[in-house]
Amino acid sequence: MEDLKINLGSLVTPQPWLTAEGLLLFACGLVWCHYVCALPREIDRGLLFGAFCAGVTLLAVVSIGFYACGARWPFWDANYRFGPFPNRNQTADLLAIGALLALGCVHERFRNGKRTWIAWSCAAAVIFAGLVLAYSRAAIVLFFAASIGWIIAMAAVRRSGPRLAIGAGVILVLWSALLFGGGDTLERFLQPNQAGLDITKDFRWTIQKDALAMVSSAPVTGIGLGNFESQFWLFRGALGSANLRVLHPESDWLWLAVEMGWPSVFLVLAGFGLLLARVFPLGKDPGWRLRSAAASAGLLFALHGFVDVSAHRMGSAFPALFALGLALRPQRQPLANSPWQRLIYRAGGVVFCAVGAVWLVFSWNAALLPGQLGATLAKDEARQLSGSKQFERAIEQATTAAKWTPMDWEPYYIRAVATALGTSDDQSAMADFNRARFLNPVTAEIPFNEGVVWLSRRPILALPAWQDALHRAIDSHELYEKMLDSSKAVPGLRRSLLAMASGNVETMLSYLAQAKPAEFAEGLSLLRAKDAELTLLTPVQLQELFKLWHAQGHCSNFLEEVEQHPNWIRTGWASISLCHASHGDFRHGYELARQNMPSPVIPNKSKPESIPALERALYAQPQDFAKRFALYENQLRAGDKENALATLQKATALNQCPSYFFYLEANLLADAQKWQEAWEALKRGGLLNPSVR
């Protein structure tokens, strides 16, 4: 970092503004948790349950409606087009909690003889439908597990077999609904390998292996809140060079350990255990059934945190904490009555409201405030300014973003582009490009785009960037083709790009495909310098090379090489045949193709029929290829090759003619030693394509 002149300060966290922002949100969550867990006994918890479930039902209705219409709220950041959150599991967790509490409301109203249980049943059905559409396997599994646990707990407290049977019936109805209308979500359960349940094929487990290595680097203090994404690349061991942007470790608990250390995890677990202890005993108060449903919901959320990150989204974490607070046994003298706690609540409320108002105002006015939001706004504005060629202002905004998020590669890249295009300070631009590449050593587009920027200024500087891009790329030949396209206006780079491609067959073929005749000869010589016999190329690559060899007009040289390497004929017969034909040697071209081409499937021989009857039938139905084949065979049996050939030629003149007619036509023409026409018949039928069967 010192060599790149990235200032990280002397604190434990390399990005203190992000950590301060994270600590503020974490404190907000703690205050909210403390508040809902200290609700006074006098509060009507049944009313709170109903209000919560009504809100979740409304959210489910709106989400389902927008999903059905293919629309979305402008401020919803949903990747899966369902729900308000960018992570579908966070939406699913909220709906699973709501569905479980709605079932609790159904049970409570039904037990008390109130007809409103019907309305709550409809609400539970709507929320469950939203849960299925949210496309989360884990949330559905945990919902059913929590529901079963809740039903068993109620039956155990009251020792009631009928209650257990009724609850089991409700679960079976919901399970049947999933099986009947589960759609794509059900498909994820039925095809686990494609859905990611195969651990060897799921990046989740690989990411978590590397995340554990991050924990071991700072097991007590952690790396600081808000720093996971920017530092994960330093620990990419198991994940390797996979071109993935890793935002989190796919686990709330592991994320907490990485950024705040193991002591924080143990403290949170201990606090959660103490809260769960306050749920018991059950059966001593009138609302214990609802409380047990809420406790199951809180446990569901905590367990899902081992395989996802819903606790890191306020919109899903705060409802879960609210449900957990409702699950606690009411206290005779709640702590909320103490003066010091009332002071904490009021002071915390004032502080958090003020902070929220400041964030809202700054976000609404696109003003810059230190932290993640300010850095994001600064980067967006810098991109727009750079796009409108206001490079000096773009550099200022990017510098501000880099000051607040020094481990983020984007500000340096944006500043580098603005510096390279708007100033003559190439050294500063190169330094920023190097910082961006260092902080993101995986994404191939970063050095590729850097090279494109240098093409208009100093093309020679594009080469090291593009070399790095090829090293990173998963599909290097596709990226190499982009490089060739981008550098067409700079012919001086062609030789350097050829040298860059020499270590990879696919990239070399990409170069040869766009090469001029002289460049093709040079590229082919370079390719064969390392593999004169072309034994390292796959059959598909050999076919592609031979096609290019013929297309470039080097047929004489190609045929000479084939004579010295007869083993090439088996793979390259089609291109060799084309070369013979281009030299006017159609006989060799035909015979070579005929010996090596895969024969098309020819129908079984037809029974003898009347030739005039077949001719009349074809006059009525000229597209009847079965009749044409029968006519050809009967003419051939009669020894009338001339009319048999005419029948085949009439067939091949029709649209959608099967390839075997061309094959048979070529055979008859070859028997008559009409080699050019025979070869052209094979070509017209597409039989000179090695893939034809």
pLDDT of 1 higher than 70: no
In this prediction, residue 69 has a pLDDT band, given cuts at 50, 70 and 90, of confident
pLDDT of 119 higher than 90: yes
DSSP 597: S
| Tens-digit pLDDT profile for residues 42-55 | 688 888 999 999 99
- Whether residue 411 has a cis bond before it, omega within 30° of 0: no
**Across 302-323, average pLDDT:** 91
Q: Provide the token pair at 578.
A: 């084309």
C-alpha torsion 181→187→190→195, nearest 10: -150
Label residue 276 left, alpha or beta by phi (over 0 means left) and psi (-120 to 50 means alpha): alpha
| Tens-digit pLDDT profile for residues 491-512 | 888 889 888 888 788 889 989 9
Question: From CA 388, how far away is CA 321, in angstroms rounded?
Answer: 47
What is the pLDDT at residue 451? 95
Question: From CA 201, how far away is CA 190, in angstroms rounded?
Answer: 16
**Across 216-233, average pLDDT:** 91
pLDDT of 201 higher than 90: no
Question: From CA 182, how far away is CA 189, in angstroms rounded?
Answer: 10
Question: From CA 344, how far away is CA 30, in angstroms rounded?
Answer: 12
| Tens-digit pLDDT profile for residues 534-555 | 888 888 899 999 999 888 877 8
Question: From CA 75, how far away is CA 83, in angstroms rounded?
Answer: 11
What is the pLDDT at residue 294? 92
Q: Provide the token pair at 194.
A: 């494609």
| Tens-digit pLDDT profile for residues 345-372 | 777 778 878 878 877 777 676 677 888 8
Q: How many residues are present in the chain? A: 693
Q: Provide the token pair at 54.
A: 């009504």
Question: From CA 671, how far away is CA 681, in angstroms rounded?
Answer: 13
CA distance readout (Å), 532 to 264, 504, 567, 637: 63, 15, 13, 51
| Tens-digit pLDDT profile for residues 134-150 | 888 888 888 998 888 88
Question: From CA 373, how far away is CA 111, in angstroms rounded?
Answer: 49
In this prediction, residue 435 has a pLDDT band, given cuts at 50, 70 and 90, of very high
pLDDT of 326 higher than 50: yes
Please report where in the chains the tokens 């606090």 appear, as a residue.
271
Position 332: which residue type? R
**Across 471-476, average pLDDT:** 84
Per cent of the chain over pLDDT 70 is 93
Which residues touch 257 (CB under 8 Å, ≥6 apart)? 215, 222, 264, 265
What is the pLDDT at residue 389? 93
Name the phi and psi angles at 344, rounded to 5.
-65, -45
pLDDT of 421 higher than 70: yes
Question: From CA 588, how far away is CA 565, in angstroms rounded?
Answer: 17
**Across 475-500, average pLDDT:** 88
pLDDT of 199 higher than 50: no
State the number of CA atoms in the 13 A half-sphere of 215 facing the CB: 19
Q: How far apart are the two ends of the chain, measured CA to CA in Å? A: 59
